[in-house]
Amino acid sequence: MALDRLKKEETLAMRMRLIGQSCKLFYSDDPVKILRARGQYLFDENGERYLDCISNVHHVGHCHPSITKAAAAQMDLLNTNTRFLHDNIVLYADRLAATLPEKLCVFYFVNSGSEANDLALRLAQQYTQQEDVIVLDHAYHGHLMSLIDISPYKFRKLAGQKEWVHVAPLPDTYRGIYRENHPNPGQAYADTVKDLIEEVHRKGRKISAFFAESLPSVGGQIILPRGYSAKVAEYVRSAGGVFVADEVQTGFGRLGSHFWGFQQQGENFCPDIVTMGKPMGNGHPLACVATTVEIAEAFTANRVEYFNTFGGNPVSCAIGLAVLDVIETEDLRGNATRVGAHLKDLLTKLQTQHQIIGEVRGAGLFLGIELVTDREKRTPATKTAAFLRHEDRICVSTDGPWESVLKFKPPMCFSMEDAELVVQCIDRILTVATTAFYVGMHLLDIYCMRSLNTIKDSHKDLISHIHNFSVE
């Protein structure tokens, strides 16, 4: 197969014509065409290498040969649906069960994190016989209609907030209502959920579920404060609801120290439903819901079949099993711990040199850098973040309500050298930006004294750069 059948401009023209424009491209002013990938590296049509700091989906590394081999072997044998008995689905469920607290022992396999969250919502509503859901501000739980309803990040731009959806403050100790100087932000933020439940009760409504990512990602790579989840679970359960932990972004050892993000909240906390997705199949459409016997039984009680055509098929499960094998045999959790710590350390050192870095946070290979134009006021440095996003063939991405958080969630084989490379790159860009700022100030003085058409082209370019870096 020829790798590059179309010229980049042809690909782009066909893309514009044939694919819905709501499906956006990275770097839309100069999109990147990637032809092949290996581990944490992407290669474009000219063979140029990009360091991938964002593909959490390709968890054990792009195009890992063990995954390809497992997929091809099973594709050659059998790929039926789950109405037939098969070993792969039960062996895979058993392996997943071993990573989870004992009570999360019933599994439903689906094709995407969105399908998993939709099913989690059904399970919660059927078990509690209630409808209302509490979600965190800025949360995103998927692209399906039911999930847009419980995703403030989406519904605020679309149909708005439904009467059965209630938004709790994002427990963000950098920008939120309780910050790092609060004596017990975990309790304080949990109390906001308690207050919300009381407000819901005053409206004569009842809570079905509290739905939250274990580490809010679109919200800005947020680490929930200690004690938060256990307290919220206590309040939600007293109100008759269940706690749904969305692990679509954070599961499968990304944090290094724990296999699941929710485990960071301590051993006394266990969700009632866990959803998983992105990294699960290393790019293959595979996702899952884990829950308790009680919730599963309530779902079965109405005797209505749940059938998912592709979910849990022998190929998907063979791939899922192979991913778990690679995580173990290559000690990718150990790697996430070591490389993540080194990367965080380097970024924290960088913070001492660059005023624009307001905070470095995260765990393992799930890190975020808050960029601010003013450390005191914590003013989001949105434009600098956007500029950093695709410089020097280092793919990072931005998130958070102001798109001011640079986020790292690379394939788990990310190395010490990769960490050093990306930090050097950020350092260089921020240094140029700082210099450009002072040069820019001087140039703007000149600019004010002359008419526009006397400014040389090179100066125009420089002014454009200044705009990118300093005018936030």
- The residue within the footprint of a copy of itself, chosen from 66, 146, 434, 468 (CB under 8 A), is 146
Q: Check residue 82 for interaction with a copy of itself (CB under 8 A).
A: yes
The candidate with the shortest Cα–Cα distance to 122, out of 255, 296, 257, is: 296
DSSP secondary structure letter of residue 376: T
Q: Check residue 393 for interaction with a copy of itself (CB under 8 A).
A: no
Q: Check residue 217 for interaction with a copy of itself (CB under 8 A).
A: no
Q: CB of 322 within 8 A of CB of 68?
A: no
The candidate with the shortest Cα–Cα distance to 130, out of 213, 236, 231, 212, is: 236
CB nearer to a copy of itself: pick between 57 and 200: 57
Residue 213 backbone dihedrals phi, psi, to 5 degrees = -65, 145
Spatial distance between the Cα atoms of 287 and 4, rounded to a whole number of angstroms: 31
Q: Check residue 230 for interaction with a copy of itself (CB under 8 A).
A: no
CB nearer to a copy of itself: pick between 24 and 202: 24
Q: Which stretch binds a copy of itself (CB under 8 A): 12-20, 220-228, 359-367, 399-407?
A: 12-20
- The residue within the footprint of a copy of itself, chosen from 53, 57, 346, 367 (CB under 8 A), is 57
- Cα–Cα–Cα angle for 69, 72, 77, nearest 5°? 125
Q: Check residue 372 for interaction with a copy of itself (CB under 8 A).
A: no
CB nearer to a copy of itself: pick between 154 and 258: 154
Q: CB of 414 within 8 A of CB of 58?
A: no
Q: Tally Cβ neighbours within 10 Å of residue 91.
A: 14
CB nearer to a copy of itself: pick between 105 and 455: 105
Q: Check residue 452 for interaction with a copy of itself (CB under 8 A).
A: no
Residue 203 backbone dihedrals phi, psi, to 5 degrees = -80, 0
Residue 77 backbone dihedrals phi, psi, to 5 degrees = -95, -55
Q: Check residue 83 for interaction with a copy of itself (CB under 8 A).
A: yes
| Window 403-432: residues binding a copy of itself (CB under 8 A) | none
Q: Check residue 72 for interaction with a copy of itself (CB under 8 A).
A: yes
Q: Which stretch binds a copy of itself (CB under 8 A): 64-72, 194-202, 226-234, 446-454?
A: 64-72
Radius of gyration from C-alpha coordinates of the chain? 24
Q: Check residue 111 for interaction with a copy of itself (CB under 8 A).
A: yes
| Cβ-based neighbours of 372, under 8 Å, separated by 6 or more | 356, 357, 358, 378, 379, 380, 381, 404
- The residue within the footprint of a copy of itself, chosen from 41, 66, 103, 122 (CB under 8 A), is 122
Q: Which stretch binds a copy of itself (CB under 8 A): 13-21, 174-182, 267-275, 455-463?
A: 13-21
Please report how close the Cβ of residue 424 comes to a copy of itself at its closest, in angstroms.
Answer: 24
- Cα–Cα–Cα angle for 334, 218, 220, nearest 5°? 75
Please report how close the Cβ of residue 472 comes to a copy of itself at its closest, in angstroms.
Answer: 22
Q: Check residue 1 for interaction with a copy of itself (CB under 8 A).
A: yes
Look at strands 132-136 and 207-213 and give their pairing: parallel
Q: Check residue 165 for interaction with a copy of itself (CB under 8 A).
A: no
CB nearer to a copy of itself: pick between 32 and 177: 32
- The residue within the footprint of a copy of itself, chosen from 48, 49, 80, 417 (CB under 8 A), is 80
Q: Check residue 31 for interaction with a copy of itself (CB under 8 A).
A: yes
- The residue within the footprint of a copy of itself, chosen from 39, 42, 326, 426 (CB under 8 A), is 42
Site string for a copy of itself, 280-299 (x = CB under 8 A): ---xxxx----x----xx-x
Q: CB of 303 within 8 A of CB of 78?
A: no
CB nearer to a copy of itself: pick between 169 and 401: 401
Q: Check residue 255 for interaction with a copy of itself (CB under 8 A).
A: no
Angle between helical axes of 314-329 and 65-77 (0-180°, round to 10): 150
- The residue within the footprint of a copy of itself, chosen from 48, 49, 77, 460 (CB under 8 A), is 77
Please report how close the Cβ of residue 295 comes to a copy of itself at its closest, in angstroms.
Answer: 9
* Helix residue ranges per DSSP H, 217-277: 228-238
- The residue within the footprint of a copy of itself, chosen from 138, 141, 154, 389 (CB under 8 A), is 154
Give buried/exposed letters for 420-453 (b at 16+ CB in 10 A, else e).
eebbebbbebbeebbebeeebeebeeebeeeeee
Spatial distance between the Cα atoms of 310 and 62, rounded to a whole number of angstroms: 23
Q: Check residue 141 for interaction with a copy of itself (CB under 8 A).
A: no
CB nearer to a copy of itself: pick between 200 and 289: 289
Q: Check residue 73 for interaction with a copy of itself (CB under 8 A).
A: yes
Please report how close the Cβ of residue 121 comes to a copy of itself at its closest, in angstroms.
Answer: 7
Site string for a copy of itself, 298-317 (x = CB under 8 A): -xx-xxxxxxxxx-xx-xx-
Instruction: Provide the terminal-to-terminal Cα distance of the chain, rounded to the nearest Å.
Output: 47
Q: Check residue 68 for interaction with a copy of itself (CB under 8 A).
A: yes
291 forms beta bridges with 106, 273
Q: How far is CA 101 from CA 194, 255, 266, 373, 380, in A?
A: 25, 17, 12, 43, 39
